[in-house]
Amino acid sequence: MAAGFPDGFVPWPKDTADHYRAKGYWQGSTLGSILRDGARERPDHTAVTDGERRLGYRELDREADRLRAGLAARGIRAGERVLVHLPNIIEFVPLCFALFRLGAVPVLALPAHRETEIVSLARLSGAVAYVIPDEHAGFDHRPLARCLRERVPSVREVIVVGDADGFTSYGDVVAAAPSRPKDGTTPEPDPSEVAVLLLSGGTTGLPKLIPRTHDDYHYNVRASARVCGFDEDTRYLTALPMAHNFPLACPGMLGTLWAGGTVVLSTGANPHDAFRLIESEGVTATALVPPLALAWLDAAEQGAGRPGTLKLLQVGGSRLKEETARRVGPLLGCSLQQVYGMAEGLLNFTRSDDPPELVLTTQGRPLSEGDEVRIVAPDGSEVPDGEVGELQVRGPYTIRGYHRAEEHNATAFTPDGHYRTGDLVRRLPSGHLVVEGRTKDVINRGGDKIPVEEVENHLLAHPAIHDVALVGLPDDTLGERTWACVIPGGTPPTRRELLAHLTARGVAAYKHPDRVRIMDDFPRTGLGKVNRRELARRLREA
């Protein structure tokens, strides 16, 4: 293993890496450098705002440097992992840059995550610090931090934005920093090293961490920003949580700052608040998952107005229905772009000069010439265009392995380094892809990925449950909705009891089943395994 790589990182083969450098995909730039040009060229241009507070490029750049020094002063070192559990608040942005510059690796948890997910992410990453808001959306994060420190001893530092209540406050970390770091004390990280650990939405079982290097993620950001035409006039609204790859880097917050534009932060995406923010901040672009796009369309149709300045609406995360796609232009007055991506890497975009039919009916085509996409039958042979198969990919910004997951990597990747996406797609002659389904045991609930096995295990721990199967059923709004099919072991539990049980176990709310169905037995396969397809069919019929 190459020096400087944390254990468990699977690098690209050397000749492939050389090729990516020769092609200019990898430029040796660090993510922390993204702000530097902006700070030099347009120091007073607003880099980030939440509609009230504004940070110019120079100010943001300096805050990131001070925070880097403050974190270093608190003993956080290059290569260590920091679990970041923040909603879309301003501090998220300088914190990311501070960590990138320090060479410490942010692990980006979603705001909806609770004890179960947070403990497992901290363990898996070996996080040394945990960064939280005091309270957000009615949830006090400090008791969770206390519990985390007890359960995961590697976490030695908790940093709180707001009232620290005995922990370290974010403000103190910034203030404690030496005003001018001494020369030579702040070496830049090596661009081929891991810059950030993203969460996987696409795997079965326990969550996996996705190591993205400075080189590959910088390219991801740059190429996305170019394809979307982002520039200094771009005003990008983060309607989805920035911890997710899509609003973070496709082009998202990082792409907007790379292009010299302005990031407008929102902690929610309900159409009324979002439309107001779009109007007052002159937002030009944003990204949504299909159920939110639907909510915005319905609101516009019902007279909530139009997000007047919006030029580009990106939609991705789960399959957008054609009927919904067709309403975007007329109702929102902006262009639609479909984005089919994954935190593991590959991104597909429809392009602004694509024929309208392709924009409405496909999930786009690969971002880069360097993306090697193949669509294969179950026997591994490639299928012709037009036929459905599993998408496999390798390329300059697609990982070669999950973080510390040797066993899983052996099946998640092919021997020649392709990532098996588990997505069933078909390719049109134009190269555009249509997502038709999935081979993995993950339910895609409006872009939120629900690992079936994990939720089943939590439910099985309930004393009134003998056996359980979680299935996704088609749903007009969410794409899929979750049904927990329960074989009771005594008095059948109610859905309320089960939700209380999951909440008590600290399972994020988006994983809670939408419906509970009590059954005597499940349909089984010849081998006695639960026949999920048949189960779903019976539920649909009932």
Residues in the site for ligand OOB, rule: CB under 6 A? 201-202, 245-246, 250, 316-319, 338-343, 347, 363, 421, 423, 435, 438, 444, 447, 449
Minimum CB separation of residue 370 from ligand OOB in Å reads 17
Measured from the CB atom, the residue of 6 and 241 that comes closer to ligand OOB is 241
Measured from the CB atom, the residue of 338 and 392 that comes closer to ligand OOB is 338
Amino acid found at 312: L
Measured from the CB atom, the residue of 98 and 250 that comes closer to ligand OOB is 250
Measured from the CB atom, the residue of 46 and 125 that comes closer to ligand OOB is 125
Minimum CB separation of residue 140 from ligand OOB in Å reads 27
Minimum CB separation of residue 356 from ligand OOB in Å reads 17
The CA distance from 336 to 296, in Å, is: 13
Measured from the CB atom, the residue of 68 and 113 that comes closer to ligand OOB is 113
Question: How far apart, in Å, do the first and last CA atoms of the chain sit?
Answer: 55
C-beta nearest to ligand OOB: residue:
341
Tokens 């203030």 belong to 175
The CA distance from 426 to 444, in Å, is: 19
Measured from the CB atom, the residue of 127 and 435 that comes closer to ligand OOB is 435
Q: Are strands 168-169 and 157-161 parallel, antiparallel or unpaired?
A: parallel
User: Contact at 8 Å (CB) between 278 and 305?
Assistant: no
Minimum CB separation of residue 104 from ligand OOB in Å reads 23
Measured from the CB atom, the residue of 71 and 250 that comes closer to ligand OOB is 250
Distances (CA, A) of 293 to 58, 88, 211, 298, 349: 34, 19, 30, 9, 17
Minimum CB separation of residue 444 from ligand OOB in Å reads 6
Measured from the CB atom, the residue of 327 and 438 that comes closer to ligand OOB is 438
Minimum CB separation of residue 141 from ligand OOB in Å reads 23
Closest CA to 206 of 427, 537, 507: 507
The CA distance from 472 to 395, in Å, is: 31
Closest CA to 423 of 411, 436, 413, 410: 436
The CA distance from 339 to 320, in Å, is: 10
Minimum CB separation of residue 129 from ligand OOB in Å reads 24
The CA distance from 285 to 156, in Å, is: 39
The CA distance from 306 to 21, in Å, is: 44
Measured from the CB atom, the residue of 98 and 443 that comes closer to ligand OOB is 443
The CA distance from 294 to 283, in Å, is: 19
Minimum CB separation of residue 228 from ligand OOB in Å reads 12
Minimum CB separation of residue 173 from ligand OOB in Å reads 30
Token output for 237: 């609204």
DSSP string, 184-245: TS-PPPPTTSEEEEEEPSS-SSS--EEEEEHHHHHHHHHHHHHHTT--TT-EEEE-S-TTSH
